[in-house]
């Protein structure tokens, strides 16, 4: 059979080789006992030492199967290098098969290495292709040894060829040696037997463990007569000790029905027991939930009651504190107003302001008393609440913050300025903010009234002297500001006019301090406005004079009007004249300030243009001086 395979492989190889084109290199003659060939003969391949070829020859001769190495200098012909190498090695195999009777193409391996181009080709015997499928990808583990040797540093083609031929020969010996083949077959047979024994042991052990686990369970889950199952378990253990694979597999299979029957019975008993356990658990759970619900209800009820009570008590305390503070302030105000009435006859604006403040404070006090009474009623309602009856506390809390009506006749009429009574509506949510705002306005009026009373019969000339006007006149004169800007000052007229202003105020002070105080404030406001306007004008004058300069010197060169500082200076002078005219004739200080900015901008531009021209002239002079110095040095 093997001979037939070899003959068929040889015929197929020869048929294929007959189609190969002419070789791209000179084919060496095959010689008995020679395994390494150099083409052309006598050429010394690069990267091979003097003894490397001899070492290759000895190594190839020592192999079990023939291995031939052809090292070629050049592959003739153009095109792809891999194709040339394939054609070359195929042609060598064909020629040697045709001309050398002792060359065995079925078992021989050929390795071709060319240097121009740098290619290699490996060809195995036809027998190995047919019997072992040793071709193409099967070569990769072996040819990779050669590739690593020639791609590394330093390159070692000899070592790569040695590794390749030895690896291939070892593989072929391993695959064809009868002893090794028999050893592998025996090892495979033993592995199969071992797997069969392991599977048999596992199957029987699984049955034994399952049956033993069922029998060792609670007695309540087992049938009344367990003797047949225990006998079955004992027999299974004896067979397991015998360790016969066939018997173990057969007995394990026979145990299945008995184990399934017992497992079904035990499962049903366990299900019944589980159902009873769950029924008891559900009862216990329901009882626990009911108890927990009751406890939760009581705790939540207590927390809700305690929270409502604490919140109500806190709100009542806050309202009582506010009411108490408001009552103290009301009493203080009432006493001060009574004292004022005792020594001052109130007329005109003074009487009007005092009455308005008193009425507003009375209204505030009525609202405060209404809130105090409302808090008391809510407390009486909250007292009726308890742990199991918290609705009164809820209603008391809601009423405390809700809108309510109050009849002022519940108060003592003698504590109010006016004795009439009426029904008022109080909204607690807005109560505090509204009272704060109303009290703030009332206290502002009260402050005005007290301040006016403090200045009662103080001469107006003392309170509004002419000193500030004198200071403004001096300031305006120093900065060249026309005094017409001060003419709307109340005291800008002559002494008679000033005295008339003072007399008019003093007449009000005798009977109406509030009218006097307001008139005095009007004079002070007017004086403050005049002072602020003067300060703005002083700022404008200073801004216009900040960068004022004299006429710039003639630069001695022609310039564009936009770059000429003289032109810009003329514009600055014109704007300066306009500024002086506005200061003398206009009434708006902001218009004067705007013109002052324009004046300053032109003077700044003129200064910048002058500086730019001077810098340019200095640069030109420096360059000319350097050029002259270089010329003198060259001469």
Q: Out of 59-73, 161-175, 183-197, 407-421, which region has the weakest mean confidence (pLDDT)?
A: 407-421
Domain match, 29 and 152 both: yes
pLDDT tens digits, one per residue of 269-309: 889 889 989 998 999 999 889 888 888 877 777 777 777 77
- C-alpha dist (Å) from residue 363 to 356, 423, 474, 529: 11, 12, 53, 39
Domain match, 412 and 472 both: no
Cis geometry, peptide bond prior to residue 71 (ω within 30 degrees of 0)? no
Domain match, 9 and 125 both: yes
Q: Distance between CA atoms of 72 and 118, rounded to whole angstroms?
A: 10
Q: What local confidence, expressed as pLDDT, does residue 16 receive?
A: 38
- Please state, rounded to an integer, the average pLDDT across all residues of the chain: 82
pLDDT at 359 over 90: no
Task: Output the domain CATH number for residue 117.
Answer: 3.10.310.50
Q: What local confidence, expressed as pLDDT, does residue 341 receive?
A: 59
Is 543:597 a contact under the CB 8 Å cutoff?
yes
Domain match, 465 and 488 both: yes
Orientation angle between helical segments 513-545 and 467-478, nearest 10 degrees:
10
Residue 530 maps to a domain: yes
pLDDT at 568 over 60: yes
Boundary (domain end) residue, out of 515, 545, 575: 545
Domain match, 444 and 471 both: no
Mean pLDDT of 167-185: 91
Neighbours of 369 (CB within 10 A): 22
Q: What local confidence, expressed as pLDDT, does residue 168 receive?
A: 96
Q: What local confidence, expressed as pLDDT, does residue 109 receive?
A: 96
Q: What local confidence, expressed as pLDDT, does residue 398 receive?
A: 73
Neighbouring C-alpha atoms within 13 Å toward the C-beta of 459 = 7
Exposure letters 483-509 (e unless 16+ CB within 10 A, then b): eebbeebbbbeeeeebeebbeebeebb
Is the pTM higher than 0.75? The answer reads: no
Boundary (domain end) residue, out of 416, 439, 454: 454
Q: What local confidence, expressed as pLDDT, does residue 589 receive?
A: 92
Exposure letters 22-46 (e unless 16+ CB within 10 A, then b): ebbbebbebeeeebbbbbeeeeebe
Residue 310 maps to a domain: no
The residue assigned the tokens 């003959």 is: 7
Boundary (domain end) residue, out of 454, 487, 508: 454
Comparing C-alpha atoms, which of 601, 464, 489, 592 is closest to residue 546?
601
Residue 271 maps to a domain: no
pLDDT at 160 over 90: yes
pLDDT range class, residue 169, cuts 50, 70, 90? very high
Q: Out of 3-7, 179-183, 225-229, which region has the weakest mean confidence (pLDDT)?
A: 3-7
Domain match, 356 and 501 both: no
Domain match, 167 and 19 both: yes
Residue 215 maps to a domain: no
333 class by beta-carbon count within 10 Å (0-12 exposed, 13-18 middle, 19+ buried): buried
pLDDT tens digits, one per residue of 112-124: 999 999 999 999 9
**Can you say how many angstroms the Cα of residue 213 is from the centroid of all Cα atoms in its chain?**
58
Q: Distance between CA atoms of 147 and 119, rounded to whole angstroms?
A: 11
Q: What local confidence, expressed as pLDDT, does residue 414 receive?
A: 44
Is 164:142 a contact under the CB 8 Å cutoff?
yes
Comparing C-alpha atoms, which of 366, 377, 376 is closest to residue 421?
366
Domain match, 8 and 127 both: yes
Which position has the higher pLDDT, 89 or 2? 89
Instruction: Write out the two tokens for 281.
Output: 């658990």
Domain match, 467 and 442 both: no
Domain match, 524 and 583 both: no
3-class DSSP state for residue 121? strand
Residue 512 maps to a domain: yes
Residue 337 maps to a domain: yes
Q: What local confidence, expressed as pLDDT, does residue 17 receive?
A: 40
pLDDT range class, residue 413, cuts 50, 70, 90? very low
Q: What local confidence, expressed as pLDDT, does residue 22 receive?
A: 58
pLDDT tens digits, one per residue of 233-268: 898 889 888 888 888 888 889 889 888 888 898 888
Backbone angles phi, psi at 121, to 5 degrees: -145, 135
Q: What local confidence, expressed as pLDDT, does residue 1 receive?
A: 39
Residue 73 maps to a domain: yes
Which position has the higher pLDDT, 354 or 190? 190
Backbone angles phi, psi at 290, to 5 degrees: -65, -45
Q: What local confidence, expressed as pLDDT, does residue 597 receive?
A: 93
pLDDT at 172 over 50: yes
Q: What local confidence, expressed as pLDDT, does residue 18 receive?
A: 42
Q: What local confidence, expressed as pLDDT, does residue 118 receive?
A: 93
Domain match, 534 and 594 both: no
Q: Into how many domains does the chain fold?
A: 4
Range of the domain at 113: 2-176
Residue 189 maps to a domain: no
Q: What local confidence, expressed as pLDDT, does residue 21 receive?
A: 46
∠ CA 536-538-540, nearest 5°, is 70
pLDDT at 110 over 90: yes
- Name the CA dihedral angle for 38, 42, 43, 44, rounded to a multiple of 10 degrees: 90
Q: What local confidence, expressed as pLDDT, does residue 10 receive?
A: 44
pLDDT range class, residue 19, cuts 50, 70, 90? very low
Domain match, 333 and 377 both: yes
**Can you say how many angstroms the Cα of residue 463 is from the centroid of all Cα atoms in its chain?**
67
């Amino acid at each position: 059979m093997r001979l037939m395979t070899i003959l068929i492989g040889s015929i197929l190889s020869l048929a294929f080789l007959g189609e190969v084109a002419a070789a791209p290199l000179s084919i060496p003659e095959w010689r008995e006992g020679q395994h390494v060939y150099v083409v052309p003969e006598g050429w010394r391949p690069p990267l091979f030492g003097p003894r490397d070829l001899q070492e290759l020859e000895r190594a190839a001769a020592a192999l079990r199967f023939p291995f031939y190495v052809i090292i070629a200098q050049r592959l003739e012909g153009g095109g792809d290098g891999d194709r040339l190498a394939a054609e070359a090695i195929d042609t060598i195999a064909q020629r040697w098969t045709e001309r050398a009777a002792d060359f065995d193409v079925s078992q021989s391996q050929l390795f071709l290495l060319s240097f121009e181009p740098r290619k290699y080709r490996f060809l195995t015997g036809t027998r190995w292709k047919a019997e072992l499928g040793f071709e193409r990808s099967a070569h990769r583990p072996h040819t990779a040894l050669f590739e690593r040797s020639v791609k590394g540093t330093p390159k070692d083609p000899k070592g790569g060829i040695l590794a390749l031929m030895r690896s291939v020969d070892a593989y072929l010996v391993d695959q064809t040696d009868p002893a090794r083949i028999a050893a592998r077959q025996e090892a495979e047979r033993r592995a199969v037997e071992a797997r069969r024994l392991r599977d048999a042991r596992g199957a029987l052990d699984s049955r034994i463990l399952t049956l033993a686990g069922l029998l060792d369970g609670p007695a309540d889950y087992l049938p009344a007569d367990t003797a047949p199952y225990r006998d079955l378990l004992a027999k299974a253990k004896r067979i397991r000790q015998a360790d016969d694979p066939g018997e173990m597999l057969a007995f394990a299979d026979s145990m299945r029905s008995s184990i399934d029957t017992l497992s079904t019975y035990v499962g049903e008993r366990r299900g019944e027991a589980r159902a009873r356990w769950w029924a008891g658990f559900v009862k216990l759970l329901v009882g626990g939930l009911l108890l927990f619900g009751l406890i939760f209800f009581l705790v939540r009820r207590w927390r809700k009651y305690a929270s409502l009570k604490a919140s109500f008590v806190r709100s009542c305390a806050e309202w009582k504190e506010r009411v108490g503070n408001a009552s103290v302030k009301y009493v203080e105000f009432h006493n001060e107003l009574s004292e004022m009435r005792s020594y001052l006859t109130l007329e005109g604006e003074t009487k009007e302001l005092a009455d308005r403040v008193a009425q507003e404070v009375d209204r505030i006090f009525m609202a405060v008393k209404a809130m105090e009474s409302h808090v008391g009623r809510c407390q009486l309602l909250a007292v009726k609440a308890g742990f199991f009856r918290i609705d009164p506390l809820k209603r008391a809390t809601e009423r405390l913050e809700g809108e309510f009506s109050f009849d002022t006749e519940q108060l003592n009429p003698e504590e109010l300025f006016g004795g009439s009574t009426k029904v008022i509506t109080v909204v607690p949510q807005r109560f505090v903010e509204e009272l704060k705002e109303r009290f703030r306005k009332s206290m502002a009026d009260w402050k005005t009234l007290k301040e006016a009373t403090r200045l009662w019969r103080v001469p107006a000339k003392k309170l509004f002297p002419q000193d500030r006007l004198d200071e403004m006149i001096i300031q305006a004169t120093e900065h060249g500001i026309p005094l017409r800007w001060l003419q709307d000052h109340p005291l800008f007229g002559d002494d008679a006019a000033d005295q008339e202003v003072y007399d008019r105020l003093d007449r009000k002070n005798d009977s109406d301090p509030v009218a006097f105080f307001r008139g005095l404030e009007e004079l002070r406001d007017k004086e403050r406005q005049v002072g602020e306007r003067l300060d703005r004008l002083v700022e404008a004058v200073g801004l216009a004079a900040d960068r004022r300069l004299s006429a710039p010197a003639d630069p001695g060169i022609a310039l564009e009007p936009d770059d000429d500082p003289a032109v810009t200076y003329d514009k600055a002078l014109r704007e300066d004249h306009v500024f002086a005219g506005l200061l003398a004739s206009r009434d708006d200080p902001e218009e004067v300030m705007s013109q002052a900015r324009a004046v300053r901008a032109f003077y700044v531009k003129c200064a910048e243009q002058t500086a730019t021209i001077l810098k340019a002239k200095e640069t030109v002079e420096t360059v000319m001086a350097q050029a002259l110095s270089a010329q003198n040095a060259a001469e």
